[in-house]
């Protein structure tokens, strides 16, 4: 059995939906097909919610536009005999959505829970349309089997419960099962939640892992993983194959191909991922598996992640820096903040740096200050330095020979171009070298590194 996931651009227009139809109808075995909301709709639903909550009457026009977009698609892709039923179902959803927006405009507030309910309408509607469009398809509702639990102020997938429920759900035979991506319900309250922006990929992965699918196909609007973002590097090329680890590193550091959490569940079950293009369905795409191939490129890509904050901590010479590190990481991790890349300069063994996302920076600073309050007042640790809004550039490849030397060469070339590298890390993983640079120099740095490496 295969699991296919079609992203927003793939289900965003009549033309692209007709491609989806022919791709799915061409599979002569049972398949689970996960769909995103119509391209751009999730952003639109959020923007409209904000308007409504500010009592800006323009939300009504936006709501109208959302409705007509769906009706236009329905009348062009759904076979005539099924159209009245689909129009009825989608109208019910649109009416409910409109009532929620009207409610927001009265209470002038937008609780996070309500926003989750609002965005869920995107996938609920697209899945109804796709299920009616595809011959022999039926809809299976992920609100019944994708479950989340609370983790600090976030909702995260409860993979164990989800696995059980998915197995039960798909015990009843199906030909093509169309599933809304992204949306879930809280395992305790039953309230609607989501898997986070870009989360439809993750829905696909959870189902593929639970069902031990033969492959997870991610259908998108590019030919696969590229050696760099082609909008910045026109000569970037498609990477035919890479390992799970490499794909994980590239996505963690900004490649927009797959939502990073997607990779873990399928990696764990050793289910290959294929990245394919709905608009160029015969292109080979990128295959992601657990082993390197003889034919692999030695390097797989250069990606960048904006909005990085770097923290530097310095203790008095001779202090136990390992202990300072452990306490720092524990203090930060306890609040659920993800900390990535740690750099230690060997010659300066009383200091270290680490990175977090800009969004987490303030909280991380408070946590560190309270953890080290006694040391800070005694001045055995200096006030942590924090710099926001930097870019992390990652160079990824499991076959990287002599990482230290490559890092040196890259630093050198960047330096020659007047680009200051704020920090480098070669130790964080075997697969990746990272460089922290200022945001204005990101594109130039990517160009220099890409031409050096590829």
Quote the radius of gyration of the chain (alpha carbons, Å): 24
Q: Judged by CB under 6 A, does residue 182 bind ligand ASP?
A: yes
Alpha helices in 380-434 (DSSP H): 403-416
Q: 198 vs 261, which CB is nearer to ligand ASP?
A: 198
Q: 38 vs 134, which CB is nearer to ligand ASP?
A: 38
Q: 305 vs 423, which CB is nearer to ligand ASP?
A: 305
Which 21-50 residues touch ligand ASP, going by CB under 6 A? 36-37, 42
CA of 358: how far to CAs of 102, 201, 325, 333, 343, in Å? 34, 25, 20, 15, 18
Q: Judged by CB under 6 A, does residue 12 bind ligand ASP?
A: no
Instruction: With CB under 6 A as the rule, give the number of residues binding ligand ASP.
Output: 13
User: Which of 279, 289, 238 is closest to 398 using CA atoms?
Assistant: 289
Supply φ then ψ for residue 312, to 5 degrees. Answer: -125, 130
Q: Judged by CB under 6 A, does residue 16 bind ligand ASP?
A: no
DSSP 183: E
Give the contacts of 143 (CB within 8 A, at least 6 positions apart): 120, 180, 183, 184, 185, 192
Alpha helices in 2-82 (DSSP H): 14-25, 41-53, 59-77
Residue of the chain from 122, 224, 260, 301 that contacts ligand ASP (CB under 6 A): 122
The 10 Å Cβ neighbour count of residue 203 is 32
Measure the CA–CA gap between 199 and 260, rounded to whole angstroms. 9
Measure the CA–CA gap between 67 and 423, rounded to whole angstroms. 49
Supply φ then ψ for residue 142, to 5 degrees. Answer: -65, -15
Helix (H, G, I), strand (E, B) or coil at 278: coil
Helix (H, G, I), strand (E, B) or coil at 327: helix
Residue 12 binding result from ligand ASP, Mg ion, none, given CB thresholds of 5 to 8 Å by partner type: none
- Residue 12 Cβ, how far from ligand ASP at the closest point, in Å? 10
Q: 195 vs 368, which CB is nearer to ligand ASP?
A: 195
Residue 182 binding result from Mg ion, ligand ASP, none, given CB thresholds of 5 to 8 Å by partner type: ligand ASP
Measure the CA–CA gap between 364 and 391, rounded to whole angstroms. 18
Residue 199 binding result from ligand ASP, Mg ion, none, given CB thresholds of 5 to 8 Å by partner type: ligand ASP
Give the contacts of 73 (CB within 8 A, at least 6 positions apart): 13, 14, 17, 38, 129
Residue of the chain from 122, 198, 301, 397 that contacts Mg ion (CB under 5 A): 198
| Contacting range for Mg ion; rule: CB under 5 A; set: 3-11, 158-166, 349-357, 412-420 | 3-11
Residue 265 binding result from Mg ion, ligand ASP, none, given CB thresholds of 5 to 8 Å by partner type: none
| Contacting range for Mg ion; rule: CB under 5 A; set: 1-9, 183-191, 380-388, 429-437 | 1-9
- Residue 248 Cβ, how far from ligand ASP at the closest point, in Å? 17
User: Which of 122, 120, 138, 121 is closest to 130 using CA atoms?
Assistant: 138
- Residue 275 Cβ, how far from Mg ion at the closest point, in Å? 11
| Contacting range for ligand ASP; rule: CB under 6 A; set: 149-157, 192-200, 317-325, 357-365 | 192-200
Residue 352 binding result from ligand ASP, Mg ion, none, given CB thresholds of 5 to 8 Å by partner type: none
- Residue 145 Cβ, how far from Mg ion at the closest point, in Å? 21
Measure the CA–CA gap between 182 and 12, rounded to whole angstroms. 16
Residue of the chain from 12, 199, 260, 261 that contacts ligand ASP (CB under 6 A): 199
Q: Judged by CB under 6 A, does residue 181 bind ligand ASP?
A: yes
- Residue 134 Cβ, how far from ligand ASP at the closest point, in Å? 19
Q: Judged by CB under 6 A, does residue 198 bind ligand ASP?
A: yes
Q: 122 vs 301, which CB is nearer to ligand ASP?
A: 122
Q: Judged by CB under 6 A, does residue 261 bind ligand ASP?
A: no
**Beta strand ranges found along 181-300 (DSSP E):** 183-186, 192-194, 215-220, 241-243, 273-277, 286-289
Residues that bind Mg ion (CB under 5 A): 7, 198
Residues that bind ligand ASP (CB under 6 A): 7-8, 36-37, 42, 122, 181-182, 197-201
């Amino acid at each position: 059995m295969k699991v296919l996931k079609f992203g927003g651009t793939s289900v965003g227009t009549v033309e692209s939906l007709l491609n989806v139809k022919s791709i799915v109808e061409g599979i002569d075995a049972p398949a689970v097909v996960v769909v995103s909301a119509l391209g751009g709709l999730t952003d639109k639903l959020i923007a409209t919610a904000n308007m409504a909550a500010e009592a800006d009457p323009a939300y009504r026009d936006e709501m109208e536009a959302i409705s007509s977009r769906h009706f236009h698609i329905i009348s062009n892709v759904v076979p005539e005999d099924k159209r009245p039923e689909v129009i009825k179902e989608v109208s019910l959803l649109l009416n409910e959505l409109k009532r929620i927006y009207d409610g927001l405009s009265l209470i002038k507030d937008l609780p996070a829970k309500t926003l989750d309910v609002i965005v869920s309408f995107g996938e609920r509607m697209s899945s109804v349309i796709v299920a009616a469009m595809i011959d022999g398809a039926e809809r299976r509702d992920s609100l019944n089997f994708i479950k989340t639990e609370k983790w600090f102020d976030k909702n995260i997938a409860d993979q164990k419960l989800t696995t059980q429920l998915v197995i039960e759900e798909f015990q009843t035979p199906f030909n093509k099962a169309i599933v809304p991506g992204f949306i879930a319900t809280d395992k305790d309250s039953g309230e609607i939640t989501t898997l986070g922006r870009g989360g439809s990929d993750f829905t696909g992965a959870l189902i593929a892992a639970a069902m031990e699918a033969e492959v997870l196909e991610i259908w998108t609007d590019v030919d696969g993983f590229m050696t760099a973002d082609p909008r910045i590097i026109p000569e970037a090329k498609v990477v035919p194959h890479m390992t799970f680890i490499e794909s994980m590193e590239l996505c963690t550091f900004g490649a927009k191909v797959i939502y990073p959490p997607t990779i873990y569940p399928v990696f764990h079950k050793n289910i290959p991922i294929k990245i394919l293009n709905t608009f160029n369905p015969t292109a080979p795409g990128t295959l992601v598996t657990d082993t390197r191939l003889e034919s692999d490129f030695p390097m797989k890509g250069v990606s960048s992640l904006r909005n990085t904050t770097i923290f530097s901590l310095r203790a008095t010479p001779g202090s136990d820096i390992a202990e300072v590190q452990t306490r720092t990481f524990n203090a930060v991790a306890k609040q659920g903040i993800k900390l990535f890349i740690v750099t230690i300069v060997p010659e300066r063994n009383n200091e270290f740096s680490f990175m977090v996302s800009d969004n987490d920076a303030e909280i991380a600073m408070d946590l560190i200050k309270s953890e080290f309050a006694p040391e800070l007042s005694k001045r055995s640790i200096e006030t942590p330095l924090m710099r926001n809004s930097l870019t992390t550039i990652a160079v990824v490849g499991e076959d990287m020979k002599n990482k230290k030397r490559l890092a040196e060469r890259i630093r050198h070339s960047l330096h020659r171009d007047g680009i200051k590298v704020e920090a480098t890390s070669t130790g964080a993983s075997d697969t990746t070298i990272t460089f922290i640079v200022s945001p204005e120099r990101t594109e130039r740095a990517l160009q220099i590194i890409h031409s050096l490496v590829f």
